Chains A and B, each alone.
Chain A
Amino acid sequence: AQKVTQAQTEISVVEKEDVTLDCVYETRDTTYYLFWYKQPPSGELVFLIRRNSFDEQNEISGRYSWNFQKSTSSFNFTITASQVVDSAVYFCALSEKSSNDYKLSFGAGTTVTVRA
């Protein structure tokens, strides 16, 4: 069963537009961790944010902001005033206990294209 669902497969915007990426997760654990990663065309996974299940405080980092709502199992990501350098695939991920250890499972990803 899909643990992390990213509703948008692709989003295309013009520079300076805002972009919101949706992420819905599913878990039975009370302790879990949520992440967002950016993967540019070069392939490396760039860590953006980590949030644990007990911390519902929203966060802003420069042009990036995150909205965590446990009641709806969502962890959405907004890029404000997008730039061409924001073009990448963005993955939402869930880390939860599984048998002997923790597993990090990724959503399908959202490809963001920012046009000049």
Chain B
Amino acid sequence: DTEVTQTPKHLVMGMTNKKSLKCEQHMGHRAMYWYKQKAKKPPELMFVYSYEKLSINESVPSRFSPECPNSSLLNLHLHALQPEDSALYLCASSQVRGGDYGYTFGSGTRLTVV
């Protein structure tokens, strides 16, 4: 299995809703990442997890809450989002030293906040 699976593929949520994005990989990768991509912009790093511990938080607002329950699973909990948070959310995984073996990206969750 050489894939990163993200669910759901599309999500529409209201500003008072609570929702979660899920990312799963079974490649034995020990680093996982969340990226946010606005339309016509490059992906921007949000969080890095290594060995299930948060190692980098790129000053992301607390309405985004990541969680890594085990080495195969990465969640992003969403609460009280704003319309400007609408974007494509990409998950990726890699060996811990990411560059050595590359990064594998999922196909993303397209989030719309209304």
Residues of B contacting A101 in the complex (Cβ-Cβ under 8 angstroms): 31, 48, 50, 55-56, 96, 98
* B98–A104 CB distance below 8 A: yes
The residue of chain B having its C-beta at the shortest distance from the C-beta of A100 within the complex is: B55
* A43–B108 CB distance below 8 A: yes
Bound CA–CA A29/B74 (angstroms): 29
How many residues does chain A have at the interface if contact means C-beta atoms less than 8 Å apart? 26
Give the residues from 76 to 116 in chain A that come closer than 8 angstroms, CB to CB, to chain B: 91, 95-96, 98-109
Q: Which of A13-21, A45-53, A56-64, A66-74 contacts B (4 or more CB under 8 A)?
A: A45-53
A37, A47, A104: the one within 8 Å of B33 (CB): A104
B11 to chain A, nearest CB (A): 14
Contacts A101-B48, A103-B45: A43 and B98 contacting too (C-beta < 8 A)? no
The residue of chain B having its C-beta at the shortest distance from the C-beta of A92 within the complex is: B42
Contacts A44-B107, A45-B105, A47-B102: A107 and B55 contacting too (C-beta < 8 A)? no
Residues of B contacting A106 in the complex (Cβ-Cβ under 8 angstroms): 42-44
B57 to chain A, nearest CB (A): 10
B55, B96, B103, B107: the one within 8 Å of A104 (CB): B103
Bound CA–CA A52/B97 (angstroms): 12
Bound CA–CA A26/B45 (angstroms): 18
Bound CA–CA A42/B105 (angstroms): 13
Bound CA–CA A45/B106 (angstroms): 8
B43, B56, B99, B103: the one within 8 Å of A47 (CB): B103
The residue of chain B having its C-beta at the shortest distance from the C-beta of A33 within the complex is: B99
Q: Does B77 contact A (CB under 8 A)?
A: no
Bound CA–CA A60/B39 (angstroms): 31
Residues of A contacting B103 in the complex (Cβ-Cβ under 8 angstroms): 35, 47, 95, 104
Given contacts A42-B107, A99-B55, 14 further A-B contacts (CB under 8 A): A35-B102, A43-B88, A44-B106, A50-B99, A91-B42, A91-B43, A99-B56, A100-B56, A101-B31, A101-B48, A102-B31, A102-B48, A104-B103, A107-B42
- Chain B positions within 8 Å of A, measured between CB atoms, are 31, 33, 41-45, 48, 50, 55-56, 88, 90, 92, 94, 96-100, 102-108, 110
